[in-house]
Structures are given as structure tokens and as C-alpha cells.
Amino acid sequence: MKKLHVAATRATRARRDGFDANDARREMERVVREGKSLKIVCSKRACVARGQGRVIRALAAALGTTFRPTRAGKRAAFVIERVDGTSDVPPVVSEELLKSLCAEPMTRDEYLMSDERRARLEKRAEASRRANKGKKKKDRGRRWNRKSDEEDTTRDIVEFTRATEDEATFDEDAARRAPSPLSGAFAAFEAHTRGIGSRLLTAMGFTRGSGLGRDNQGIAEAPRAESRAKRAGLGAE
């Protein structure tokens, strides 16, 4: 659709600049009959001039004339001359070729209803069907190979059983009323080291087997401030 829009825009601009492909074809046929030379000046727009040049080149090849590009000021031009023994107006059978070269581009509605678009859609649908058919065959083979591989492979079956709590040894109410002391296991790693954690616990009155806080379980004083070396990690002296 975009190509049709561009072609229609260029054809409109060419007609506005005074160029018509059918007029150029008739003038080139007169060159073949009368043996005169013809100079065709293209549009001043470069994109339109390139399209006109392609049409003139195709007409020259169909009529057997020479095609020599030149300039007319800043605009592109082409000189058409007859070649004896080669240039000839094609018969009626080849007249359709010249008409197709000079035909106006199809509009959007004409293209949507054209046989060209219908053939293109059928070709695309056929290609899609072939691609899907090939994928199905390929997948079927992969599934067959995967199944055979699974049958040949031995597997170890592992069963998992959900863990359950022993109700005889656990009393939730008793645990809530009298929590078990955790200070014995608390800081077990720091107990035998001289890291910053051990020193902080010692400064707050921690002893092994007791806890921190109130009720004679320790003191709640703030730890003393010590100056440490820059970027010193935990455990540094």
C-alpha cells in the first residue's frame, strides 16, 4: 500500500510538471517511424525524475532506440534516437507491453480488488500452511525421540514425608508462660573470640548463662565508645 501511495504521488507530480508517459510513448514511436531525434526533459524533482527515467528506459528497450542521458540545466534529460535495422514499432501483440509500461498506478480500491493482490494472498497462505505442516512433523519426531529416551532411562523414586511435631514434648501454653532462656546459646560464637560483639556484650554486663535487660539479668547501660581505626572490620583490635 505504501508503494502504491508513493507511485501515485510521483505520477501526480510528474503530470503537474508537464510529463505524461503515454505522450512520451507516442513521441518515441514517431522517432522510430520518421527517424528524428527526441530530447525528453524530466521533472525538476529528483525522485520523480528517477521514476520517469525508468519508464523512458523501458520504452527505449521495447522500441529498440538509443537511450542517452544528458542534462538540461539542472534537470535530467534523455536523448532518444533511432537505430537503423533495430528500431521498430512493435506489432499489436506487443502493444500491451507498452501500455503496461505507461499505465497509471492503481488506486487503493483497485489494488484491493485486483487479481495481483488475490494471488499474493494465496501464495502467502500456502507458504504459511507449508511452514506449519513442517513444524508439526518436526515436533512429532521430537516427541517420539523424547519418549524413547525416557523409557530407556532408569529413574530413582524419592518420596518425601511431611514432618510432624511431637505433641507430647511440646506445650505451647507452658512455653508462653515461661520462655526458655536463650542466653546460653546466644553469642556462642563470640564467646571465644575478641571481636566487637564480645566486647559489647561484656560492656553491658553479659555473662554466660544469663541474659540482658532488667530483673537482675544484666545492666542496660549504653556501651562505651571506642575509637577504631578507619575501615576496621568486626573483630579488629
Q: Reduced to 3 states, what is the DSSP secondary structure of residue 79? A: strand
Beta strands in 55-116 (DSSP E): 66-72, 75-81
**Contacts of the segment 64-67: beta carbons below 8 A, 24+ positions apart:** 64/32, 64/88, 65/28, 65/31, 65/32
Q: What is the pLDDT of residues 20-46, one digit of tens each?
A: 777 777 888 888 888 778 888 877 777
Residue type, 210: S
pLDDT: which is higher, 154 or 202? 202
Q: What is the pLDDT of residues 59-91, one digit of tens each?
A: 888 888 888 888 888 888 888 888 776 666 665
Domain residue ranges in the chain:
2-112, 180-228
With 0.85 as the threshold, say if the pTM is over it.
no
Choose among 4, 236, 23, 231: nearest CA to 117: 4
Kindly state the average pLDDT of the residues 175-183: 53
